[in-house]
Structure 1
Amino acid sequence: MPSVPTFLKPRLENLLRSQLDDGSGRMMDFTQPAGEPALVAADSISWRVFANPVTLVIGGITAVLLELAEPKVRSGVWDHTTFRTDPLKRMRRTGLAAMVTVYGARSQATRMISGVRRMHEQVRGTTPEGVPYEANDPELLRWVHATAAFGFLEAYHHYVTPLDQAGRDRYYAEGAPISRLYGAETAPVSEDELRELFSGMLHRLEPSGILSEFIGIMESLPLLPRPLRRFNRIFISASVGLLPPDIRMKLGLCGRSPSAAATRVLRFLARQAEGLELDSSPIMQARRRVDDLPRNPA
C-alpha cells in the first residue's frame, strides 16, 4: 500500500481526527475492545470500499440524492435533521456512523445502531402533500440503506477498482444483515435485487426544489482539504453521474455528469487515496484491534 509523504501526514491525520469526532471532542477509538471482530469480516468487499475517502464523498452524495428523491424520506431528512442548517456536521455524523458500522467492534456497532433506532422512533410527520411517514418504517429504511450501499459501491467501482459481478453481489450480501439491524428487513442481497427495488421505486421518485438546494449546499461546502477545494463541483457532478439513467432523467439531473477529463482527474485522486496508511483511519485501527484475536494453539 502507498505511504503518505512525511510532510502531508500530520495534516491528513488532523483532518481525519476532526472527521471522527463523535461530538464529545474525543476521536472515536476503533482499536477497542482488543480482539473483538466487526459486524463485517476484515477480508470483506465492504472493508475495501469504505476505506477510500474519495469513494465516501462521491458515493455519499449519490446516496443522499436518491434519498431526497423519495417524498417521505425527503421530508424526514429535511424537517428532522441539520442538513439545511449545518450540513457539514450532519454529513460527518453520518460518515462516522458508517465507519462504526463497518469497522467498529460488534459491541460498539450494535450499541450505536440501537441508539439510532431509538432516535428514529421520534421522527415522524407528514409530507407537504399530507402523507404521513415514520423514520422507522421498514420500507423507507430499506430504501435508505439500499441507496447508501449503491452509492458507495458505484463510486468505488467507477473511480477506484472495477468489481466483477461476484464481488458486487458479495458486497450487497455483506451489508444485508447490518441493514436488518437498522430495521431494513428486506434489504437487497444481490445486485439483481437492488435493480428490482430501484425499478419498483421509480414511480415514487420525483424532482424537487430541495434536491436543487441540496446540490447548491454541497457545491459551497468545504467537502475537501483546502488544496482540493477547486474540485468540489467535479465531485458533485460525479455523484450525479452515478445515478441510474432513468432516475437521473426523472429527477431532471441530466447533463450534470462529469466530463471525460474530470473523470480522469477523479480516478487519479481516488487511486492515489487507495490504501493510504494513516494511523488514525478506522480501517488501520480496526486491523490493529482484530489482529489481537487469540490464535489457535499450534
Structure 2
Amino acid sequence: MPLILPPPLQRWVEATAAALLHPPGGPAIDFAQPLGEPALVPPDSLSWRIFKNPVALFTGGVAAVVLELAEPRVRTGVWEHTTFRTDPLGRLQRTGLAAMVTVYGPRGVAERMIAGVSRAHGAVRGTTPGGLPYSASDPELLCWVQATALFGFAEGYSRHVRPLTEGEVDRLHAEAIPAARLYGAEAAPPSAAATRDLFTAMRDRLEPSPILAEFLRIMRAAPILPPPLRPVQHLLLRAGVELVPGWVRERLGLGRGEGLRPWERPLVRSIGALADRLVLRGGPAAQSCLRLGLSADHLYRG
C-alpha cells in the first residue's frame, strides 16, 4: 500500500530526494510535461517500478561502479575524464538524473540527453597505465557499462526490496534494449543468462586497483545524504559492495569488512521495503505517471 508520511517529515524527505537529482547549474527536467508524451519504457514496465526505489538504485549503482572500475579501460576513462574525484556529489547527481530521464523522461527529452552523452563520449579516449588504448565510444566498453548497471539495479531490487524471478530479470533486460542501443551498446546482454556469460568472459580482464579503494573512501565521505542519515549512507554503501558477485570481490581484494554484517541484511531489506511504499509526489516516477494520465501513487500500489 502507498505510504505518505506526516506533512513535515514528508516535505523533508521529498526535498532530500529532489536535491539528489538536481546538480547545481544542471538542467531542470519537468517529468510532468508535455502531457501524454511516452517514455522510452512504458509505465507498466518492471523498470518503472524498480527505478522508483532509492535503495535499489543506490546499492545497485555502487555495485555497478565497482564492476566498472574492475575493468582497466573503463576505470581509466572514468577516473581521468570525469569529475568524480573533485566533485563526487555533482557527478552522482548527474548520473542519477540521467538514469531517471532514460527510464521516465518524455521520449524526446531522453533521446536528446542520450545523444548529448554520446557526443561527450566521443572525446573520451586515451591509454591505460598498462598500455591499453580505450575509447568511451567503444561498443565493447559500452556493453560492459550497460550490463553492469542493469545487473546492479536488478540485484539491488531483488536482494533489498523483493526477490525477482529469472523471468522478471529477463524482462528487465528486454525493456532496457531500446535505450541501450541509443547509447551505442548494441550488444548489450538481452537476458540474465547472457549477462552471466559476459561476466565469465570478462573474468580474466577484471583486476584490483587502488582506485577502487579511493572510490569507496570518496563514497563514505561524500555528503550524499544529510547528516542525520549518514549512517544509512554507509550501510547502503556496504550493501552495494555485497551485491558484487563473490568471485569478483575476491579478485578485487574486497574483504568481508566491505560488506554487511549478518544482522544488517534484514535492516537493509526493511529500509528497501519501506522505500518501495513511500510516495515521492515530486519525484520523476510520480510526475511521469501524472504526465501519462495516471495517479501519482500508481506505481506504489500492489
Distance 1:241 1:264 in 2: 14
Who is 2:44 aligned against? 43
Read off the aligned partner of 2:53 and give its amino acid letter. Answer: N
Amino acid across the alignment from 1:34: L
Distance (whole Å) between structure 1 residues aligned to residue 167 and residue 227 of structure 2: 38
Q: Is the 8 A contact 1:51 1:275 kept in 2?
A: no
* SS of residue matched to 2:5: coil
Aligned to 2:177: 176
Q: Does 1:267 align with 2:269?
A: yes
Change (3 A) 1:27 1:11: farther
The answer to whether the 8 Å contact 1:18/1:27 transfers is: no
CA displacement, residues 100-119 of structure 1 (integer Å, 9 cap, x when unaligned): 00000100100000000001
Matched to 1:272, the amino acid is L
Distance between the aligned counterparts of 1:23 and 1:222, measured in 2? 14
Work out whether residues 237 and 258 of structure 1, in 8 Å CA contact, stay in contact via their aligned partners in 2. yes
Give, in whole Å, the separation in 2 of the partners of 1:28 and 1:246: 40
Q: How does 1:112-191 map to 2 (within 5 A)?
A: 112-191=113-192
Aligned pairs, how many?
A: 292
Q: Which moved more, 1:283-292 or 1:203-212?
A: 283-292
Letter in 1 for 2:279: E
Query: Could you list the per-position Cα deviations for residues 162-208 of structure 1 after superposition, in whole angstroms to 9, with x for gaps in the alignment?
Result: 11121111011111221111000110111000000010011100000
Superposed displacement of residue 224, structure 1: 2.4
The residue identity in structure 1 corresponding to 2:69 is L
The two structures have a TM-score, normalised by structure 1, of 0.95
Which ranges of 4 or more aligned residues in structure 1 deviate by more than 6 Å? none
Q: Scaled by the length of structure 2, what TM-score is found?
A: 0.93
Unaligned runs of 5+ in 1: 293-298
1:26 CA displacement: 6.2
Paired AA for residue 268 in structure 1: S
User: Is residue 230 from structure 1 mapped to residue 267 from structure 2 by the alignment?
Assistant: no
Return the alpha-carbon distance in structure 2 between the equivalents of residues 202 and 157 of structure 1: 24
* Cα separation, 2, equivalents of 1:153 and 1:103: 17
Q: 1:22·1:93 contact (CA, 8 Å) conserved in 2? A: yes
Q: In 1, distance between residues paired with 2:7 and 2:266?
A: 26
Q: Match for residue 206 of structure 1?
A: 207
CA distance in 1, matches of 2:173, 2:43: 16
Equivalent position to 1:288, from 280, 287, 290: 290
Identity percentage over the alignment? 51
CA distance 1:114–1:130, change in 2 (3 Å): same
Structure 2 partner of 1:89: 90
Q: Is the 8 A contact 2:23 2:90 kept in 1?
A: no
* Structural RMSD (CA): 1.3
Task: Output the CA distance in 1 between the equivalents of 2:17 and 2:229.
Answer: 15
Q: Where does residue 296 of structure 1 map in the other structure?
A: none
Name 1:29's counterpart in structure 2: 30
**CA distance in structure 2 between the aligned counterparts of 1:26 and 1:68, rounded to whole angstroms:** 27
Give the drift of 1:22: 5.5
**Structure 2 partner of 1:219:** 220
Q: CA deviation at 1:276?
A: 1.7
